[in-house]
Amino acid sequence: MSSPFIEENDQTRARREHLAEIEKLVGNPYPSKFARTNLAESPEGEDTITALVSPETLKRLAGAEEFAAGFDALAGKVRAGARPTAEDLEPVNAALNRLRVRVAGRLSTPPRVMGKAAFVHLSDGRERLQIYVRRQDARAVSNDSGQPVEEPDSGWKLFQLLDHGDFVGVEGFLFVTKTGELSVHVEQLQFLSKALVPMPDKMHGISDPEIRQRQRYADLIASSLKVEREPGELTTREVFERRSRMITYMRRYLDDHGYIEVETPILSPIASGAAARPFETYHNALDIKLYARIAPELYLKRLLVGGFERVYELNRNFRNEGISYKHNPEFTMLEFYCAYMDADGMMDFCEELLRRTIQEVTGSTGVRFGEQEIEFGAFRRLSMKEAIAEHWPKYLRSPGGVDISASTFDDPVRVEAAHWFLGESWEAVHKAAEDQRNQARENYLQNKNSGSVEAALSKTAGEYAEKGYPTWYIRDILITEEFTNGLWSRAEKRAADLWSKGPFPVEQTARQIVEMFERLAETHLIQPTFITDFPKVVSPLSKASPDNPSVAERFELYIAGMECANGFSELNDPVEQYARFEEQVRQRERGDEEAMQMDVDYVRALSYGMPPAAGIGIGIDRVAMLLTNRRSIRDVILFPHMRPQAVKHDEDAERDEAVHKLDGILDELAEGDEERDDEDAEPRAGLKELRDELGVRSAAEGRADEEQ
């Protein structure tokens, strides 16, 4: 029997044959339930394997102090690698044999048959429990009647039909084996579900990240079975359990501080609350276009108008934008607002919330993220201009004798000059590297027909590395003091000439400052750092600073080079808010698809009066990345969005493997970005172009085959 979801091979055929035999023996092979005991008095109300194997549970169940002492001594021997003696086992097993248990789980190892008895492990996805099946003792249970099957050796026959990955329920008594392992001596064996496909490799798990993310169910199974694990490495289940504990604690912290959890619309007639491109849909009954929520901000602030002083929402947001290691179109935010608080107070609150959350979830105020040790004991605060000056490229020195500082960027002419100067210096380096990229591409084209694509690709990647890709050594040779001074002189003259024709638009200067921050500073902000004093023109919902009306009382929190939170003192002047919206509309008309839409009802709400307030949005997925040491946002989202799998031709397999390897090289380069100057990222375009060329060729040749 072939099916679109099960590959036809010897293993899957054998499993289907076993399933047919099991059905003859016990009836329905997919029963509705299995009642477990609750000796462990677990929160679940029944005996999970994790609850049952806890030493504390066993000592409590046995009751007697002498058992507890004997169990501790036996456990100590096992930990030391020694086999317990008969004298060690006798008192422990005398107590355990009185405990009858019903427990269920997945066969986490292939059955081991030794004559007329066998051992196998059951797993609940977290812990494992060994079961012992002896031919003359075990009886199969009919799933139709719920009674033991009367056929002789029915339990043994059923056991021999089990495959790695099947679910079974067992009933029996507890004991400790001669190797010191807690086990269940099975008296009744009930079949619960068949695994029709083989389990993943239990030694190494699933190494392909795309399979892990596309088939999370297989990833969860493989990770729980995986034997080889790095010190401190979390299983996939542990990653998401840690994420869940993080969210639970954040909720509790907000509840304890007087915040009320609310729910706001996911579908809205206006895409508002953030600068982002929305997903669109259509409501047939109302005959209106709707947008998937990009942020709940404006609804939550309407509640401040209505009298709620502290509100929060743990929400799913949707933004129709790019995908990267830190971006997913659907993501989770924790957004909350507090009346009578300003941005400084919200930074204090955010810092304490995150510090306590890290402590609660990990037991420490520090976490390891990749090669970095991140400490949440204290958060830095820098203005955006201070961050630019602090991370101004060292190799560009003091251009033209100008000492670059935060005050440099108070002058719009200097901002224009610095922005152009950086762009030109990077362009010069990249042009110098173009010959290398062309040469490497030529090597690939020459070699692709004289050997495997993989070999040509390896040669290409090797030459990039050999010649200094992505061009650090070219930069060091090219960027001399003479070059720097000459380029800066040209930059200042150009900026002065432009200014003489009229002042620069405020929006232009603001965006240049933001762009320089993103290119120079963002990836270097490893330890928790609040960036403050954003240009007001790029912060349409934030109050202006009373000390400097050109900047907003806004902050963003950066950790490990990622923006993890965004907050500000909320603008509550309806007249000014309306004017800000009008400017956003003009930007949309000029082609900015991410500019906000006019929301007249929100302005109407502000007209009823909103108290001074501060708000913040915290990226739950990115904080989860930090707490679990995962470098891709897809690894902390159970079911991330993926491209549809294309049907591939056999002859394309080698090329596709080469593309996959090149993706790995690009990922490694991306992970190293935080340790390099951001301007070095651009030359990787050559590798990306080569990868795209390979991918396009594969698709094009596939279409040609279909036409033939």
In the chain, domain spans: 10-193, 236-391+522-636
Asked if pLDDT for residue 692 goes beyond 60, the answer is no
Average pLDDT over residues 446-463: 50
Asked if pLDDT for residue 190 goes beyond 80, the answer is yes
204 — pLDDT class (breaks 50, 70, 90) = low
- Asked if 156 and 135 count as a contact pair (C-beta separation under 8 A), the reply is yes
Average pLDDT over residues 420-425: 92
Q: What is the mean pLDDT of the chain?
A: 85
Q: Which amino acid is at 128?
A: R
10-193 classified as CATH 3.40.50.10320:
no
Q: What is the pLDDT of residues 373-396, one digit of tens each?
A: 999 999 999 999 999 999 998 878
Torsion-angle region of 160 (φ positive above 0: left; ψ -120 to 50: alpha; else: beta): alpha
- Vertex 625 angle, CA 325 and 320, to 5°: 45
What's the DSSP call for residue 411? Answer: S
Distance of CA 374 to the CA centre of its chain: 17
Of 68-72, 557-561, 576-580, the poorest mean pLDDT is in 68-72
Percent of the chain with pLDDT over 90: 61
SS3 of 409, please? helix
Give the per-residue pLDDT at 229: 73
Distance between CA atoms of residues 514 and 552, nearest Å? 13
Give the per-residue pLDDT at 706: 34
Do you know the residue count of the chain? 708
Burial 465-499 (b: 16+ CB within 10 A, else e): eebbbbbeebbeebbeeeebbebbeebbeebeeee
Average pLDDT over residues 488-499: 95
Distance between CA atoms of residues 637 and 625, nearest Å? 10
- Asked if 130 and 180 count as a contact pair (C-beta separation under 8 A), the reply is no
Distance between CA atoms of residues 336 and 296, nearest Å? 10
Of 28-42, 312-326, 618-632, 652-666, the poorest mean pLDDT is in 652-666
Give the per-residue pLDDT at 669: 56
Of 368-377, 485-494, 536-545, 650-659, the poorest mean pLDDT is in 650-659
- Asked if 212 and 206 count as a contact pair (C-beta separation under 8 A), the reply is yes
Average pLDDT over residues 219-223: 90
Average pLDDT over residues 219-235: 83
Q: What is the pLDDT of residues 347-370, one digit of tens each?
A: 999 999 999 999 999 999 999 999
In terms of pLDDT, which residue wins out, 182 or 350?
350
In terms of pLDDT, which residue wins out, 666 or 328?
328
475 — pLDDT class (breaks 50, 70, 90) = low
Asked if pLDDT for residue 704 goes beyond 80, the answer is no
Closest CA to 239 of 681, 705, 624: 624
Percent of the chain with pLDDT over 70: 81
Distance between CA atoms of residues 374 and 388, nearest Å? 22
Asked if pLDDT for residue 67 goes beyond 90, the answer is no
Asked if pLDDT for residue 607 goes beyond 60, the answer is yes
Asked if pLDDT for residue 688 goes beyond 60, the answer is no
Asked if pLDDT for residue 470 goes beyond 50, the answer is no
Cβ contacts of 154 within 8 Å, gap of 6 or more: 25, 139, 140, 148
Biggest CA-to-CA distance, the chain: 101
Asked if pLDDT for residue 121 goes beyond 60, the answer is yes
Give the per-residue pLDDT at 663: 57
Cβ contacts of 131 within 8 Å, gap of 6 or more: 119, 120, 121, 122, 170, 172, 183, 184, 186
Of 455-464, 527-536, 579-588, the poorest mean pLDDT is in 455-464
Closest CA to 346 of 274, 265, 257: 257
- Bridge partners, residue 555, by sequence: 532, 567
Distance between CA atoms of residues 218 and 281, nearest Å? 32
Asked if pLDDT for residue 90 goes beyond 90, the answer is no
Give the per-residue SS3 of 587-647: HHHCCCCCCCCCCHHHHHHHHCCCCCEEEEEEEHHHHHHHHHCCCCHHHHCCCCCCCCCCC
Of 46-50, 133-137, 549-553, 677-681, the poorest mean pLDDT is in 677-681
Residue with tokens 């639970």: 248
Q: What is the pLDDT of residues 6-65, one digit of tens each?
A: 888 899 999 999 999 999 999 999 999 999 999 988 888 999 999 998 877 877 776 655
Architecture of domain 236-391+522-636: 2-Layer Sandwich (3.30)
Q: What is the pLDDT of residues 534-562, one digit of tens each?
A: 999 999 999 999 999 999 999 999 999 99
Give the per-residue pLDDT at 668: 53
Give the per-residue pLDDT at 59: 72
In terms of pLDDT, which residue wins out, 3 or 436?
3
Closest CA to 172 of 103, 106, 115: 103
Give the per-residue pLDDT at 210: 85
Of 221-230, 455-464, 493-502, 534-543, the poorest mean pLDDT is in 455-464
- Bridge partners, residue 618, by sequence: 334, 565
